[in-house]
Structure 1
Amino acid sequence: MSSFQQRIEQKKNSITASEQKIINQLNQHDKPFLLSMNELSLLSQVSEPSVVRLYRKLGYASYQELKVALAQELAESKSTSTDSHDIQIGDQADVVFEKISDQISSALSMTKDTLNVTTIEQAVFALQKAKRLYFFGQGLSGTIAEDGAHKFMRLGETILSVKDPHYQAIYASHMNEQDVVIAISHSGETVDIIDVIDIAKSNGAQVIVITSNRNTTLASMANYLLLTQAAETNQRSDAMVSRIVQLALIDTLYTRIVSLGGDQLISKVNQSRLAVTRMKK
């Protein structure tokens, strides 16, 4: 996939003076992915439609997609310019721990900078209305799904975590408009997950997708898309760090629902805690 600068080079003969002002601002800004469209247009002294025309000309589906691409490229640039996060053979355990912590902190920061607040709030609203909530994941993502279900079941609703694709297909075949599925897949191209989400959506279920790339099949199927951001290093796949970010996104949804639910939901959470406490000796 072409980078931002490569796309500009490909379209250089059709770039207008107004569009060049926008490009200059994006290149000069330390964190261009934090700029709203209004802020970018004001800094560039052009109209917002000019910003829209530029990102479309460069092949981005939305301004949000442009910002995500800029954030990813900035992170990759920092990663290639310094090996400070890469774990070396001679690094002892304390240094390894510090570098892993830095990788996780960086991934959380990158994800925070590119979050779409509107999408998260809409996802929370869908979860509030749901009669049944399913967490679908396979492999390592299945472990994240189990953790998410364990958290949400404290709310006293019908919550299921399903890892087996055959079970997922059966559940999906009986879903309706009252169901919400949280589908977790780092790659966004796991065939079985794509198949069962297709079944779920055909039956009217709403789908929240947590993945790392919006340009994937699963991402395109989402009613609400939550993207993780993480830079890959020589020793570690970004999938490992993204698991932490996935958990943080699920925890964000849960905490937001509890805060909106008031005393009634807090009472249910406390009731769940009490039930577990009674089993401890």
Structure 2
Amino acid sequence: MNSLYKKLHYKMEELSPIEKSILKYCLRNIEEVSAMTAEELAKETFTSQATISRMAKKLGFKGFQEFKFAIKSYDKQEKSYVTTGYSIDFEQRIKNMVKQISTSLSSLSEVQINEIAFLIAQSENIEFFGVGGSMPICLAAARKLSFLGKKANARIDWDELTVMANNLTSDDLAVVVSHSGETVGILSYASKLIKKKVPIVAIVGAPNSTLESMADYTLFAEMTAVYYDDVDLSSRISLSGLLDILLMQYAEKYYEKLE
């Protein structure tokens, strides 16, 4: 398990609402915060340097500088398997995309997909968890399931996701979508879901991730992270494709029974 995630996970509940809001801002804007002073961050978050220092110390750091270094290092680690898009020609880019989709779909197990489809059918509520580039995939999947007659939702607000992670029960199902499987916020939600004994289906773009170890079922998408400087242009089409196959299989087996 990522050491930064463990530190944040065990200490996060000690933060006040204001300190949590600062942490959220920092994790959503790692590059910018990494270049800020405590004074600049205080102005940006409408707080004080003392509050920022207190937040860092509650999280187990000596101060803001150590905290800032930790999140910057974490961000680099998440991008350690990244490729840049500058040196790839058009044909190679197409081939890479086709390979990602083909590899992802060909590795699917019909038995596993059917088991997850059955779990969807038996669950009272389906809640999708995804942030950043994975969020639109979750919104689309929840919308499709809703049209099929299932109670399904995807939230865009950090606090709403936290509330849902705390409120779901063992009769519900959580579908967690993450490119790296190591995103701090996503792992925090997964930990809360485990405590509530909520079944978890993970859709991830990297093998041997922390999220995989926390999930009851995991579907892997072949993905290549692509950045132009700090702009993430990584395609999530493989993640979306896996979810589409799962929903099609669910509809084929259970939709008529719900009519």
Q: Same fold (TM over 0.5)?
A: yes
Q: Which runs of 4 or more aligned residues in structure 1 lie more than 4 Å from their structure 2 counterparts after TM superposition?
A: 231-239
Aligned partner of 2:182 in structure 1 is 189
Post-superposition shift, 1:153? 1.0
- Contact kept, 8 Å, 1:208 with 1:224, in 2: the verdict is yes
Q: Percent identity?
A: 25
Aligned partner of 1:240 in structure 2 is 234
- Contact kept, 8 Å, 2:168 with 2:196, in 1: the verdict is yes
Aligned partner of 1:49 in structure 2 is none
The answer to whether 1:256 aligns with 2:257 is no
Query: Quick one: structure 1 residues 232 and 198, their matched pair in 2 at CA, closer, same or farther if it must change by over 3 Å?
Result: closer
The 3-state SS of whatever aligns with 2:234 is helix
- Contact kept, 8 Å, 1:231 with 1:238, in 2: the verdict is no
Aligned partner of 1:87 in structure 2 is 88
The answer to whether 1:162 aligns with 2:155 is yes
Question: TM-score scaled to structure 1, two decimals?
Answer: 0.56
Post-superposition shift, 1:248? 0.7
Aligned partner of 1:131 in structure 2 is 124
Q: Which whole-Å CA distance do the structure 2 matches of 1:239 and 1:159 have between them?
A: 28
Aligned partner of 1:217 in structure 2 is 210
- Contact kept, 8 Å, 1:188 with 1:216, in 2: the verdict is yes
Post-superposition shift, 1:230? 3.0
Post-superposition shift, 1:87? 3.0
By relative contact order (CA 8 Å, sep 6+), the higher-ranking structure is: 2
Query: Quick one: structure 1 residues 166 and 103, their matched pair in 2 at CA, closer, same or farther if it must change by over 3 Å?
Result: same
Query: 1:86-165 residue pairs with structure 2 within 5 A?
Result: 87-88=88-89, 96=90, 99-165=92-158
Q: CA RMSD in A?
A: 2.8
Query: Quick one: structure 1 residues 87 and 187, their matched pair in 2 at CA, closer, same or farther if it must change by over 3 Å?
Result: same
Post-superposition shift, 1:261? 1.7
- Contact kept, 8 Å, 1:110 with 1:230, in 2: the verdict is no
- Contact kept, 8 Å, 1:230 with 1:238, in 2: the verdict is no
Q: Which whole-Å CA distance do the structure 1 matches of 2:200 and 2:227 have between them?
A: 34
Q: Which whole-Å CA distance do the structure 1 matches of 2:115 and 2:201 have between them?
A: 10
Post-superposition shift, 1:116? 3.3
The 3-state SS of whatever aligns with 2:112 is helix
- Contact kept, 8 Å, 1:141 with 1:185, in 2: the verdict is yes
Post-superposition shift, 1:117? 3.2
Q: Which whole-Å CA distance do the structure 2 matches of 1:185 and 1:232 have between them?
A: 12
Query: Quick one: structure 1 residues 151 and 218, their matched pair in 2 at CA, closer, same or farther if it must change by over 3 Å?
Result: same
Q: Which whole-Å CA distance do the structure 2 matches of 1:158 and 1:221 have between them?
A: 24
Post-superposition shift, 1:238? 9.8
**Bigger radius of gyration:** 1
Query: Quick one: structure 1 residues 132 and 234, their matched pair in 2 at CA, closer, same or farther if it must change by over 3 Å?
Result: closer
Q: Which stretches in structure 1 are left out of the alignment for 5+ residues?
A: 1-75, 77-85, 89-95, 268-281
Question: TM-score scaled to structure 2, two decimals?
Answer: 0.60
Q: Which stretches in structure 2 are left out of the alignment for 5+ residues?
A: 1-80, 82-86
Q: Which whole-Å CA distance do the structure 2 matches of 1:118 and 1:146 have between them?
A: 26
Aligned AA for 1:87? I
